[in-house]
Structure 1
Amino acid sequence: MPRSFIADPHSHARPNEVVVRHLTLDLDVDFDSHRLTGRATYDLEHRDQQATRLVLDTWQLDVVAVGDVDGNDLPFSLGTHDPVLGSALTIEVGALDRVVVQYATSPEARAVQWLEPEQTASGKPFLFTQSQPILARTWIPCQDSPGIRVTYDAAVRVPSDLLALMSAENPTERSTDGRYEFSMPQPVPSYLIALAVGDLEFRELGARSGVYAEASVVEGAAWEFADTEAMIEAAERLYGPYRWGRYDILVLPPSFPYGGMENPRLTFATPTILAGDRSLVTLIAHELAHSWSGNLVTNATWNDIWLNEGFTVYFETRIDEEVYGAPYTTMLLRLGRQDLERAVADETPRDTWLELDLAGRDPDEGPTKIPYEKGSLFLRLIEETVGRERFDAFLRDYFDRFAFESMDTATFLKHLSDELLDPAGVSADDLQLEAWVHGPGVPSNAPDYAADAFDRVDEQVAALLGGADVATLDTDGWVSHQWVHFVRALPVDVGAATLRAVDGRFGFSASGNIEIATAWLELAVASGYVFEEPDVDRALADFLHRHGRALYIRRVYTRLAASERGLERAREIYATARPTYHSVSQAVIDRTLTP
């Protein structure tokens, strides 16, 4: 028998007793009532032969009936509702190996966003799910823990003028009757089960990659993502074969709360990466890297999220280096370090450890950049210590050895020592390993990266602050990462005249690049400039209404909330912007604007 499942503080499930191995969904999508209705069938494994109960996670689901495959009712109960964890659905299964749950979702299901026709480019309704971290239970009764994997298939019925897609084998054209069938033969955790329905078109990118989007977006997206096949090939050269068949991308409407979501076979992506110059497509490298770190080898609980995200940021930058070169990657590493330093300053010391302690908390409330950037920096340190060739061999073996399994921090650290550090003659003390994993902040042995491209930016910032006219600055050939660094390098007290001059020349307030626009609005708010310039204030309001990507709107709202005047303006904007946000973004900003 496989090793025991690790106890997950964010799930009611008892997988060491009875665990789900395969899920079959049969669902109707009702845009009028904002409900999914149908049934889920579960193939079970009794890991404890004495166990007679199956425990599933639910969140405000209407459980209509529970029975065996012959239609005989089975006893079941719903536990007390917890605002974060929902309710345990306990089913008396006896020795049965298949059970059926008939159910309907609530219109308030937090994983599902229903978009009205006026919220889409096509003028037709749209829905998408976002199940990470523990929201799958709001639309599927399931064992909602990242350490539990299932294969699944589904039949989904939608209006005949819309296309349905899942994190599975997908169609590229609409059916005539609105019925779609899906299969995911590789086992995945519940947070990677995804559904989207909309007026979508498909464009091929390569032999095993393509993009779905609304008609007005799809051609631009196909151009933006032209390097996808090259990224897949680079990833395979580094760490072994891509094991999911196809790698397709779905561009969602602006309310999608994340940059991307690594749903297997179908990455969900924000339209904010469609900058028109391919400057933000490193996000695709990130989501593709998750096909190994996260989807293939998955964190056992959300306390171990760095094993997903830290590995993925490291892998992402290695893909970028393969495709775009080392100088490009060094800029990303420098920006990532800036993000990490800011996160360390903003978070509580305990939330800056790599191994988190999220028990009793919504895992969505955990730290944002720490698992990503501190985790990646730790892996960079290991690479520098043992050598790239040796570290690459270790990682490739790691993905092979633990494919389609889960990993916790303690098990990984033992594997790291046994298979890499000890043979290389490197001790835990040499790495300051405990300080990295179980200590606050950034340890003193963190790698540092010089970027000539940023040095050129710093020279121009120094000239500007020394009195040079903005028209004389040498910015020819700068890429978006240099512009972000330029804005971040401007001091908060630089003065309204200088901010007016740089905005007038470089058009930061009107930037279509979300990285640049966010950095600029943060500076404009922190300096008070936004309150002096009506045009910048209008740009601020437009930004917060147009985008729903949680990481970036949170940064701007956080800056606003730092002053009484800013907090008042933030609440004024949020009152009309909130209904357009996904529940994930709503929860983040609700907390940000609550004293």
Structure 2
Amino acid sequence: MRRLVSSLALLLATAACTTATSEPVVSTAIPEPMVSPILSGPEALDTLTYAEPQKARVTHVALDLGLDFAAQRVGGSATLSLLVQPGEETLVLDSNGLHIARVTDASGRALAYEVGENVEKGGKGAPLSIALDGARSIRIDYTAPADAAALQWLTPEQTSGKVNPFLFSQGQAILNRTWIPTQDSPGIRQTWEARITAPKPLDVVMSGVRQGEPEDLGDGRRVFRFVMDKPVPPYLIALAAGDIDFKAIGPRTGVWAEPSVLPRAYAEVADTEEMVVAAEELYGEYRWGRYDMIVLPPAFPYGGMENPVMTFLTPTFIAGDRSNNGLVAHELAHSWSGNLVTNAVWGDSWLNEGVTTYFENRIVEAVYGKQRAEQEAALMYANIVETLGEVGEDAPGTALSTEGEYELGSAIAYDKGAFFLRTVERIVGRERFDAWLQQWFDNHAFQPATSELFLEDMMENLVASDAEAERLTLREWIFEPGLPANVAKPDPAAFAEVDAAVGHYADHGMMPSGWSGWTAAEQIRFLDNLPAELSHDQLAALAAALGLSATGNNEILFLWLEMALENRYDPAVPQAEEFLASVGRAKFVRPLFGVLWGEGEWGRPIATRIYAKTRESYHSVTRAGVDRILDGE
């Protein structure tokens, strides 16, 4: 089935977390090493990497790095274990801005290398070609630049504690090549280990299992060690360092956060152990040992990132009522879809995000009930319809499998992908569908996948007849634009009361009487469906009656600010400025700057003034999006 499986075993001993503990530090017996297959075929060709894995590939990365907060640099060495086909003597890696000091083999013998031409578009960077001369393990001494796009260095003032600096990485999709020299492609899975030194009193966490207690070096620094013994796509190697504490949730779950944030973070994610149990009951064993989380400072550009054993989360999801912790369910679900089975190329990102969004909704149903799950599904469906209305039903980018650039957050990859699986489930029945999806995870565990492979597996292991295949329209769902006619639409009763309230407001200006008792999803549905044009008096009345300016839910606050700015409501500008200065989540920041910029002579001076103050506080992902808006792209 178009797979090339290696017979070479790694020689490095690694450790996995399998014991139940309330402590974040675990080390256990040596497991059998793994080498993941490489997919062949044109559909598995990753155009965003320079690597040639069919010739020479990285199977293991050993990092030995120091964190220099004064210079805002990461430096040290990366030792790579290689699988090289007979007759091949050149290894090609991905790099972007790395300062290479030297390359040697296992004995310390210098190896010739060349950094090729840099491609700035899309952040592809430059190829790093190394003449192996028989070497099957190499060491690269290097330093990552201060402006490495994957890394965000925060001053003490940008943290909650205001005393110590902070660092976190964000590697998806191809940013990790700015701080790690490796083959940075989701289809080239690698095991890894790391030795990280950091100044006291900072703690370090990574997306690998921490090995023992940190070692005090006696020079004001400590050493932290981590191992990931399972092959993962390179974008999942992640690091964070700062003044952080840990609190256990269950026997294999816990949360890290800055001390002042930890109580609220813990209260928000206290259902996580229950979610893990629900996920296992749906689709099989959780295979990563622990499931810990870290709630990062507000500069983190995404809602969450599914880094194995250490999900990274934005603090903006904390609402005080767990109404936004479908985010946790989503990142947990990635432990199966995305981390266990990964898209081989970014044009198939729906295999990660769409499958995960479906899985997320099933976890929400199991833990919080069918009504909440149906309401959240209805919001997803509305996102699809809105997107198709903006770009057109026939827009090529609305196919699940695309050859275009990967865009995180797409209503197509996430929501259309989820509704594809929801539709298949509706047609074949939940029992058959669940059995098929679990076998997909089991049979392709720790491997890359493509849309063609997914379709082939469905046809072989799920579809019962030609007639059923015709009803499912699988190829249309995956490879054609738009939304197929057989889509399993959400229950219209899910928001019946809310939709009636929207109508009453639009027709008579009547405020919803049940607002305070509504779920967050219901409040979002109401705000999202109000008339686009509202007078300043109407906006003032809405804010006063519904408490929009004082809400503790950032999803609702964002919708209020977006609506107010679209209608040039001056009283909302100070709050928008405060919001944009205090969060870095691209989901919020980019649209608000987009609204301001779109409001011409009223909004552009406001956007320019705010961005001049906030730009340096944003991660490169968020900055790049806002830069494009203000540059008129």
User: Is the structural similarity TM-score above 0.5?
Assistant: yes
Tell me how far apart the structure 2 counterparts of residues 22 and 413 of structure 1 sit (CA, whole Å): 30
Tell me how far apart the structure 1 counterparts of residues 214 and 324 of structure 2 sit (CA, whole Å): 30
Structure 1 segments, 4+ long, off by >6 Å, are: none
Contact kept in structure 2, 1:148 and 1:189, CA below 8 Å = yes
Aligned partner of 2:489 in structure 1 is 448
Contact kept in structure 2, 1:331 and 1:451, CA below 8 Å = no
Alignment of 1:354 with 2:394, yes or no, is no
The AA in structure 2 aligned to 1:562 is: G
Aligned partner of 1:507 in structure 2 is 547
Aligned partner of 1:43 in structure 2 is 81
Q: How does 1:14-93 map to 2 (within 5 A)?
A: 14-46=52-84, 48-83=85-120, 84-93=123-132
Structure 1 residues without counterparts, runs of 5 or longer: none
The AA in structure 1 aligned to 2:171 is: S
Aligned partner of 1:198 in structure 2 is 242
Quick one: which of 590, 593, 600 aligns to 1:554? 590
Distance 1:74 1:173, change over 3 A: closer
Aligned partner of 1:187 in structure 2 is 231
Aligned partner of 2:358 in structure 1 is 314
Distance 1:258 1:379, change over 3 A: same
Aligned partner of 1:104 in structure 2 is 143
1:113 is paired with a residue of what secondary structure?
A: strand
Quick one: which of 545, 569, 575 aligns to 2:612? 575
Q: How does 1:520-531 map to 2 (within 5 A)?
A: 520-528=560-568, 530=569
> Once the 2 structures are TM-superposed, how far is the Cα of residue 466 of structure 1 from its aligned partner?
3.5
2:523 is paired with a residue of what secondary structure?
A: helix
Aligned partner of 1:437 in structure 2 is 478
Deviations 1:341-366 (A, max 9, x none): 222234471111111112xx5x3x56
> Once the 2 structures are TM-superposed, how far is the Cα of residue 176 of structure 1 from its aligned partner?
3.7
Contact kept in structure 1, 2:91 and 2:132, CA below 8 Å = yes
Contact kept in structure 1, 2:191 and 2:231, CA below 8 Å = yes
> Once the 2 structures are TM-superposed, how far is the Cα of residue 75 of structure 1 from its aligned partner?
0.8
> Once the 2 structures are TM-superposed, how far is the Cα of residue 592 of structure 1 from its aligned partner?
2.2
> Once the 2 structures are TM-superposed, how far is the Cα of residue 173 of structure 1 from its aligned partner?
6.8
Aligned partner of 1:163 in structure 2 is 203
> Once the 2 structures are TM-superposed, how far is the Cα of residue 542 of structure 1 from its aligned partner?
1.4
Alignment of 1:401 with 2:443, yes or no, is yes
Moved more, 344-353 or 407-416: 344-353
Tell me how far apart the structure 1 counterparts of residues 526 and 399 of structure 2 sit (CA, whole Å): 30
Contact kept in structure 2, 1:464 and 1:473, CA below 8 Å = no
2:378 is paired with a residue of what secondary structure?
A: helix
Tell me how far apart the structure 2 counterparts of residues 54 and 158 of structure 1 sit (CA, whole Å): 31
Aligned partner of 2:16 in structure 1 is none
> Once the 2 structures are TM-superposed, how far is the Cα of residue 367 of structure 1 from its aligned partner?
6.7
Tell me how far apart the structure 2 counterparts of residues 272 and 173 of structure 1 sit (CA, whole Å): 31
- How big is the alpha-carbon RMSD for the aligned residues of Structure 1 and Structure 2? 1.7
> Once the 2 structures are TM-superposed, how far is the Cα of residue 69 of structure 1 from its aligned partner?
1.6
Contact kept in structure 2, 1:453 and 1:482, CA below 8 Å = no
Contact kept in structure 1, 2:111 and 2:133, CA below 8 Å = no
Structure 2 residues without counterparts, runs of 5 or longer: 6-37
Moved more, 99-108 or 492-501: 492-501
Tell me how far apart the structure 2 counterparts of residues 516 and 49 of structure 1 sit (CA, whole Å): 59
Distance 1:173 1:337, change over 3 A: farther
Tell me how far apart the structure 1 counterparts of residues 510 and 334 of structure 2 sit (CA, whole Å): 45
Quick one: which of 563, 571, 590 aligns to 2:599? 563
Tell me how far apart the structure 1 counterparts of residues 235 and 445 of structure 2 sit (CA, whole Å): 17
Aligned partner of 2:19 in structure 1 is none
Alignment of 1:296 with 2:337, yes or no, is no
Deviations 1:202-227 (A, max 9, x none): 00000000000000011111111110
Alignment of 1:495 with 2:539, yes or no, is no
The AA in structure 2 aligned to 1:357 is: E
Deviations 1:371-397 (A, max 9, x none): 000100111110011111000000000
1:561 is paired with a residue of what secondary structure?
A: helix
Contact kept in structure 1, 2:565 and 2:573, CA below 8 Å = no
Tell me how far apart the structure 2 counterparts of residues 347 and 277 of structure 1 sit (CA, whole Å): 35
Quick one: which of 280, 287, 290 aligns to 2:331? 287
1:490 is paired with a residue of what secondary structure?
A: coil
Moved more, 117-126 or 398-407: 117-126
Tell me how far apart the structure 2 counterparts of residues 295 and 58 of structure 1 sit (CA, whole Å): 23
Alignment of 1:586 with 2:623, yes or no, is yes
2:261 is paired with a residue of what secondary structure?
A: helix
Contact kept in structure 2, 1:163 and 1:173, CA below 8 Å = no
Tell me how far apart the structure 2 counterparts of residues 174 and 327 of structure 1 sit (CA, whole Å): 46
The AA in structure 2 aligned to 1:497 is: D
1:144 is paired with a residue of what secondary structure?
A: coil
Q: How does 1:315-464 map to 2 (within 5 A)?
A: 315-347=359-391, 349-358=395-404, 361=405, 363=406, 365=407, 368-421=410-463, 423-450=464-491, 452=493, 454-464=495-505
Instruction: Give percent identity, aligned residues only.
Output: 42
Bigger relative contact order (CA 8 A; separation at least 6): 2
